[in-house]
Amino acid sequence: MKIKYNLLHKDVNSEARYGKLETKRGIFETPMFMPVGTLANVKTLTPEELKEVNSGIILSNTYHLWLRPGEDIVAKAGGLHKFMNWDGPILTDSGGFQVFSLAEKKNILEEGVFFKSHLDGKKLFLTPELSIEIQNKLNSDIAMSFDECPPYPVTYDYMKNSVERTLRWAKRGKNVHNNPNQALFGIVQGGEFEDLRKFSAIETVKMDFDGYSIGGTSVGEDKDTMYKMVEYSTPYIPSDKVRYLMGVGDPIDIIEGVIRGVDIFDCVLPTRLARHASAFTKYGKLNLKNAKFKEDFTTLDPTCECYTCQNYTKAYLRHLFVSKESLGGRLLSIHNIRFLIKLTEELREAIKENKILEYREDFIKNYYSEEKNN
């Protein structure tokens, strides 16, 4: 078995789904949030700390691991799980987003993409086949097809050509995928264009992937446009296959994605915010560098049971950031990841009770009640 998705309940008032994703490394409830371990680690955290916040699946990045240490070294270590000492499932992205967002002087050809490394300027060439070959060697549980990730906005004609190329790349990648223990996901593109999203989804599903991702979101578009991108994609993805919205980690966006039928999310946002002294709470984001927390001896979030909230005050956390102590980022990373995982746990319960819309209303009311003051 690679993976299997079981739809257990659908909210009667929306497209929200409660289900379970079976993998050879365990069974996990959805909706779920995946922490991002770009270079085979979730920044500043150990695998044990990830388990303590109830992380199920984590994500690592093909592009970055290809550049360093290299897929052959990871393979010699026994695969990504042994290399990073993580015994849970791992999803690797294809490297496409990084090539199109980080790399310099890109030249997109039918065969693949020429680009310069963001590390040293070395000229590289990544193809759909090479992306899959790298992921096969990394031996992740779920691999992603190599796709073109256009910026936002682009013209209709550009996006149409891009979608067609991504479909050809998906077929090429699927043809060379040869890891029997690794699932492979297809990626739906199409920008903000409804007909292109529909076309991309229908044609990608025809290739019969193990799961499907909605790509091309969180690339500069406004929130309403992003939500429409999801709405234009999910109706054409089979109900018995898992749906993954790539690069989305804002709490409101996760809720809106779930309401539109998404099962899995990932984003670097919780750890990136943490390194900049920003914390998610039930009542909005807090900037821990704010002087008003200098003598605030309360916890970050009284509704949170994470290690940070159980042991440290806002005043101490502020002190760490003002003093430029790295522990501050670690403690906030633990909290922010736990916050998003707990959010998905609560969403699962709301779906089972057919109360997802009420949950959204209550969450938004609380989340924005004090954020403007923080």
**Catalytic site residues?**
93, 266
- Of 299, 283, 291, nearest to 318 by C-alpha is 291
Q: For residues 212 and 215, what is the distance between their CA atoms, to the nearest angstrom?
A: 9
8 A C-beta contact, residue 145 and residue 182:
no
Query: Tokens in use for 238?
Result: 């089979």
Q: What is the 3-state secondary structure of 193-204?
A: CHHHHHHHHHHH
Residue with tokens 């079976």: 22
Distance set, CA 244 to CA 53, 237, 291 (Å): 21, 11, 39
Q: Return phi, psi of residue 92, to 5°.
A: -110, 135
Strands ordered across the beta sheet of 104-108: 104-108, 113-116, 123-126
Burial class of residue 224, CB neighbours in 10 A (0-12, 13-18, 19+): exposed
Contacts 24+ apart (CB under 8 A), 162-171: 162/189, 163/189, 163/190, 163/196, 163/199, 163/200, 165/108, 165/110, 166/200, 167/200, 167/203, 167/204, 168/110, 169/128, 169/145, 170/128, 170/145, 170/146, 170/204, 170/207, 170/209, 171/207
Return the bridge partners of 10, or none: 17
Q: For residues 329 and 271, what is the distance between their CA atoms, to the nearest angstrom?
A: 8
